[in-house]
Amino acid sequence: MTHLKLDNVTKQYSDVVAVDGMTLDIEDGEFISLIGPSGCGKSTTLETISGLTKPTGGHIEIAGTDVTDAAPKDRDIAMVFQNIALFPHMTVEENLTFGLRLKNYDQEAIDDRVSRAADILQIEGMLDRMPDELSGGQRQRVAIGRAIVMDPEVFLMDEPLANLDAKLRVHMRTELQRLQQELDVTTVYVTHDQAEAMTMSDRIAIINEGELQQFAPPLECYNEPANLFVAGFVGSPSMRFVNGAVEDGRFVDSTFGFDIDVSGAPVAAGDDVVLGIRPEDVYLEGSHRDLDDTTTARLMVDVVQPMGDELVVYLRADDGDVTLGADLDEEGGRPAGGTDQLLMTVEPTADLSSGDAVDVVLDRAQIHLFEGTTGEAISHGLGVDDEPLANGAEV
């Protein structure tokens, strides 16, 4: 049975639809993340599950019970927020036990739960300390401990790692993963950090303007994005898009001059189509023995960014009339249907500089096609026999 169910949940403020017909079936013990750009409705969705916000439409079920109208305290949930609101005048132990005392648990049950949570979070030695004697990471562990001791049906977490520095965030991410494996409690996690969502979640719900775009395992969202929005949102640096049309079973575009056989895809002559390709699926011609040359175009190197393990190369049409360095990558924004720029990643020793003309080849197995007007995905990979090129098989 589905453990947590959102059925067509909508939240409308006077002039804003913050959440628009959200339907999510979440299994028992599943860890799911809500991701999307700022203002897309992640927190509001979470608040409707917690009961802090009442939806204007739809229903919410927890463990088979309709809780749409239940007060937060009557839902079997525990929340962890971005702002770690520990009570400053209470010790760690008092912070951990506060919620249990409110619910009139007896001392033995309290001691049991605190010692289990302290053990899981490795904070046994800190129970007598005051919050201001803890580091940021320790404080966040205590905040999570406060949720664990409640032994809820569902954990709700709203950007719990956002206030930690980058290194600690990566560390806490691993801790949360371990915790999830150990506790196996259904968790809904809000983040704008897609790396966090991709690494920790069983499934991710990608939201834009209050509407669910795709709800699937992270790799499925990455490899088979449902539409242009998901394709541009998941992955960094992100997929790039080329506007074109289908003519005689071929995708042709006027910006880069691609002319690619798409007769295996369900497209018809005259269709407006957007081609999507990720940086790692664009190669220099001749750099890979398995590449065919049917997807080649001559482009110009605009900007080269060394990342250490690879170079990210920004490519433009080789029309002899471009401004070098213009329009650098804008991560996180809503992707347009097409751009006049492609990205390619190459080995760090590649000898490329601004202004070089290069012949690039797209890996046919990794070419995504989208419907030009709706942005819905048409196909992922061209041709049934296509296999992605294996990493490390470069000549």
CB of 3 or CB of 42, closer to ligand ADP: 42
Here's the x/- map for ligand ADP, 6-35, by CB under 6 A: it reads as: -------x--x-x-----------------
DSSP state of 125: G
Residue from the set 43, 186, 191, 339 that interacts with ligand ADP by CB under 6 A: 43
CB of 57 or CB of 383, closer to ligand ADP: 57
Q: How far is the CB of 328 from ligand ADP (least distance, A)?
A: 25
Q: How far is the CB of 331 from ligand ADP (least distance, A)?
A: 16
CB of 43 or CB of 91, closer to ligand ADP: 43
Residue from the set 4, 26, 32, 42 that interacts with ligand ADP by CB under 6 A: 42
Q: How far is the CB of 210 from ligand ADP (least distance, A)?
A: 7
Q: Which residues of 253-272 are buried (b: 16+ CB within 10 A; e: fewer)?
A: bebbebebbbeebebeeebe
DSSP state of 394: B
Residue from the set 8, 27, 39, 247 that interacts with ligand ADP by CB under 6 A: 39
Best CA proximity match to 305, nearest among 356, 343, 256, 278: 343
Q: Report if residue 313 touches ligand ADP, rule: CB under 6 A.
A: no
- Angstrom distance (rounded) from CA 35 to CA 21: 16
Q: Report if residue 303 touches ligand ADP, rule: CB under 6 A.
A: no
The sign of the dihedral angle between the CA atoms of 210, 213, 217, 221 is negative
DSSP state of 141: H
CA angle at 186 for the pair 181 and 187, rounded to the nearest 5°: 90
Which residues are bridge partners to 243 per DSSP? 274
Here's the x/- map for ligand ADP, 142-171, by CB under 6 A: it reads as: ------------------------------
Helix (H) or strand (E) holding 304: strand 296-306
Chain-centroid distance, C-alpha 279:
18
Q: How far is the CB of 14 from ligand ADP (least distance, A)?
A: 7
CB of 46 or CB of 358, closer to ligand ADP: 46
Residue from the set 38, 349, 374, 391 that interacts with ligand ADP by CB under 6 A: 38
Pull the structure tokens for residue 356.
């070089």
DSSP state of 364: G
Pull the structure tokens for residue 213.
């775009």
Q: Exposed, middle or buried: residue 385 (CB in 10 Å: 0-12, 13-18, 19+)? A: exposed
Residues forming the site for ligand ADP (CB under 6 A) = 13, 16, 18, 36, 38-44
